[in-house]
Chain A
Amino acid sequence: MPQFDTQFFSSLLFWEWVSFGILLLILYKYAFPWILENLDARERKIRETIEAAERQRAEAERRMAEYDAKMRSAQKEAEEMIAQAKVRAQQMMEENERRMSAEAERIKANAAREIEQERRTALEEVRRYAGELGLRVAERVLERSLTDADHKRLADEALTAVAKDFEKS
């Protein structure tokens, strides 16, 4: 086999080590550190990004929960307010009703009192008028034969009689 031809061994060995050495030196100096650093940088970056995302997610979740709680309490408050408003409206309605009926009562009572007063006044009027009327009738009948004292007595008698009749009727 040509590979066992010792003629080329020295040259091959020499150049093998020289080439390998040069390649090792070049890669060691100019390639591997950069690539390794690159890999580390990417790893760092990815880890940082993931961590940041994790943090943000937790934060978002916390806020969400916060808003949820707020929302729920607001809803409860609103419901309470509505219930209170309903109760108050009910109360006001009842109050109004009571007041109106009281007012009506009062108006009715007033009216009755006024009517009563009117009736009394009218009665008084009638009585006075009837007395005068009787007196005049009696004057015509008796033609001044009576004294003033007689007048008064007769009038009173007549009035009492009339009043009695009136009260009977």
Chain B
Amino acid sequence: MESNPLHPFELHPYGSLSLFGLDISPNKAVVMMWIIIVLASSLLIIAARQQRIVPTRLQSLAEILVEFIRNMIMDTMGEKGMKFFPFVATLFVFILFCNILGLIPGSYTVTSQIVVTAAFALFVYSMSIVVGFVLHGIKFLGILMPAGTPVLLLPLMVPIELVSQLARPLSLAVRLFANMTAGHTILAVLFGMVVSIPLIAAPLAVKIGLLILMVVLVVGRRRVIAATGTWGLVGMCILIPVILTVIWSRWLPFAFSIAINGLEVGIAFIQAYIFTILTCVYLGDAITLHGHAEGAH
């Protein structure tokens, strides 16, 4: 086991491949993307082909997914936004599969690569700008002036809005990348502790056992012996260090890693959701020109 918790994010090219002088050698992340295409498309196609009125489980799942994204679009963009449904839904599915499959030990989390999240974020943001200008022309610049701003405040508001606009793709990219990276780093650190802790745990536990013995002897030997018997006292001084050694050894970080893994599953869903809903919000802003929507930062 490597001691560097960032080790799981390292990539190594599998062979070398280039297209028009561009290096496109596959690596672990690329292989994960291939797996995701195959898995996501086959699951959804199988689900889509089961056209039953009373749905099967897989069908239900796919329908919940579609309904979920449709509601998301309806809430933020309205009926007009359904043009973007395929894009938004694919984005959600892709990111969700990246996040979730990355949790499988030995796999790779594609979304922990900043270049991947940044590409999506920039694309989404530029798309919202293009849509805005196509739909509203030069009036789209009004997005920099929230409705009802007094004229006097405009010199202040426009730069603020400009910064908030520019922060959108940045925050979108960094949020997903940072969440995925942090979760995996924590897991790596915990697993590292599983290896390293027993080295210090046993001597520490013995010292604590001696400390208890001393305290008992100084404070109230008679009372303790009366309560536990002589063997009870001896047992206490042996048992407690043993228990502490066991607890402080690999079990505690291991138990933590299980809990964190559960948390990571939740985060995988939530981050995919956040990325998608913000995509919808930005596109919705561009379509409806309502200035900034809530939760956009």
Contacts and interface: CB of A to CB of B under 8 A. Distances in A.
Contacts of B10: 2
B89 A13 contact: no
A19 B24 CA distance: 13
Contact of A27 (B6, B34, B93): B93
Given A15-B26, A16-B33, A5 B11 contact: yes
Given A20-B90, A24-B86, A31 B48 contact: yes
B39 to A, nearest CB: 10
Nearest to B87: A24
B228 interface: no
Contacts of B67: 39
B63 interface: yes
Nearest to B25: A11
A32 B116 contact: no
B13 interface: yes
Contacts of A141: none
Contact residues on B (Cβ < 8 Å of other chain), bracket: 35 or more
A23 B120 CA distance: 14
A4 B9 CA distance: 10
Interface string B197-226: 000000000000000000000000000000
B49 interface: yes
B179 to A, nearest CB: 13
B36 A10 contact: no
A31 B9 CA distance: 33
B11 A2 contact: yes
B49 A28 contact: no
Nearest to B11: A8
Interface in B40-58: 40-41, 44-45, 47-49, 51, 53, 55
A110 to B, nearest CB: 97
A3 B177 contact: yes
Contact of B90 (A13, A23, A30): A23
A150 B80 CA distance: 158
A23 B85 contact: no
B11 A24 contact: no
A14 interface: yes
B27 interface: yes
A23 B93 contact: yes
Interface of A: 1-5, 7-17, 19-20, 22-24, 26-28, 30-32, 34-39, 41-42, 45
Interface of B: 6, 9-11, 13, 19, 22-27, 29-30, 33-34, 36-37, 40-41, 44-45, 47-49, 51, 53, 55, 59, 62-63, 66-67, 70, 85-87, 89-91, 93-94, 110, 112-116, 119-120, 177, 181
